[in-house]
Amino acid sequence: MLKSRHSTYNKYIIIFSLAIVGFSVLFISILFKGIAYNILTQIDNTLYSQFLLIRERLNEDKKSIQTNVVIVGIDDRTLNRLGAYNPSEYRRYHIDLLANILKGKPSAVAYDILFGDPHDDLDVDTRFSEIMKKGPVFSVVFGSAYDRSKQIFKPLADNINNKQDMKFVSENGFESMAPFVLSSLKGMGLANAYPDNDGILRKMPILFKVQDRLYPTISLEVFRSINNIPRSKIKIKNNRIITGKTTIPVDKYCRAYVNIDNTYKIREISFYDVWAGRVPGRFFNDKVVFIAATATGLGDNKLVPLFGYVSGIMIHANLFLNMVHNNFINEVAGTSYYLLILFASFFYTYLFYVRHELPLLKRAAGYVSSVALVTKFGNTLLKLPIIKSPYNSFKSMRDRSYGLRIFFLLFSETRQRLAPVLLQLVLLYAALFLIFYYFNILIKPFTIMIQLVICYIIVSEFKRIDFSKISPQKQKEKSDRITG
């Protein structure tokens, strides 16, 4: 019994050692952020897009939710009716447009248009300012490498002292905004967007750092104002931005995934139709209205996963809806992700090492492999006389051909060696997708799948080693032969 217990201890020591080796191989590759790290990141991003695609297909028959978000776009129809876009001329149109919207008592009206300079006609700015003051109107502002704002936004900031140690996306200053606009607004927020290295926009900063102060994105500012949440009540804790009852998961740069979920429908209306009074004011009751340029070649389009190019205002609107419905994607990253990879290394090392000791699991894996659709269908066909005769002829030819025998031998050996790992890869991918689909938790799959493969290779090669050659008994016999 003591010998059996000693053997068990040795087995777990071996499993522990192999798991640490497997984890170290991958961890070092990630740590130095070389070619391997870049490849892992690119493939993980591709698989994330696949998760979104599968989710979209599964939700096709799901009942959609009509939200209270409306986008009023300066679209192609508007340009055809009102002429080519000219900021000075269109500012006149904004007066009547905004007046028609405010007739309906909207919850908020957010401009994704920067009114940077005063109008040539002072009366236009005066009338526009008076209309703005009649409702909850917000506007975007843009951070820039050079400050052109003359510190006019400083009173709207939140000092970052005593905040969590976070590498905020930062800018040196702001683009300018016409003073009459700023004095008429209920709030403002930044609209800067920064795509990943592959040019695809997946995340948006929630808070920006400009000159040692924090400023919100436009989506957060609108959400905060509608829910009457003071700026002082917005907290940053454990990679979470706590805004009232809503918790926004962010990465170390204070960015959150933009979860474009077509289950939540956004209504889009032409700027011209609203300006011309074709949309009744009551339509905008309790609506959150985003106004932006969306015409071909005019709008600020962003490349996003799955949906391709979308207008920039669609990013802000969906980020706002993520806050309203608490529909964020929670990514397992940082220390938590490395611990998960370490756990996966232990789990799969143990699984592959003791596979021969788990007859139930082995039979289950064999059953899944043997009842694969192709195999089952093929076995059924072989029972038919019309198929059986040609198959027997081919089998006889195979037995006479050395080349065919080699091919089928290699195929059989490869299948036997790869079947266990392929099965585990499929099960792992399915499990990670289900976690994403039902809980909105993103665990980037490819890195963990690579860890699985590494564990399988290490365990397989370890088992091929004949340790009996270096056992004390063997060494004694070898010594006796030499002395004899």
- Concatenating the DSSP letter of every residue in 291-353 gives EEE-STTTS-EEEETTTEEEEHHHHHHHHHHHHHTT---EE--HHHHHHHHHHHHHHHHHHHH
Q: Check residue 292 and give its pLDDT.
A: 97
Q: Residue 29's pLDDT band (boundaries 50, 70, 90)?
A: confident
> Which of 155-169, 293-307, 364-378, 469-483 is the least confident region?
364-378
pLDDT, mean of residues 122-138? 96
Is it the case that residue 281 has pLDDT exceeding 60?
yes
Q: Where are the alpha helices (DSSP H) in 59-171?
A: 76-82, 87-102, 122-132
Is it the case that residue 288 has pLDDT exceeding 80?
yes
**Which one is predicted more confidently, 401 or 129?**
129
Q: Check residue 409 and give its pLDDT.
A: 60
**Which one is predicted more confidently, 484 or 284?**
284
Is it the case that residue 399 has pLDDT exceeding 80?
no
CB contact at 8 A, 134 and 95: no
Rounded Cα gap, residues 252 and 361, in angstroms: 41
The tokens describing 271, both together, are 């700027």
Q: Where are the alpha helices (DSSP H) in 371-471?
A: 373-382, 385-400, 402-439, 445-464
Q: Residue 237's pLDDT band (boundaries 50, 70, 90)?
A: confident
Q: Residue 381's pLDDT band (boundaries 50, 70, 90)?
A: low
Q: Check residue 473 and give its pLDDT.
A: 58
CA distances from 214 to 161, 162, 191, 203, 229 (A): 10, 12, 14, 18, 16
pLDDT, mean of residues 187-206? 95
255: β partners: 205
CA distances from 434 to 39, 98, 243, 332, 441 (A): 24, 45, 28, 15, 9
Q: Check residue 299 and give its pLDDT.
A: 77
Long-range CB contacts for residues 455-460, cutoff 8 Å, separation at least 24: 455/18, 455/19, 455/22, 455/344, 455/345, 455/348, 455/349, 455/352, 456/348, 456/352, 456/420, 456/421, 456/424, 458/18, 458/21, 458/22, 458/349, 459/18, 459/349, 459/352, 459/353, 460/352, 460/417
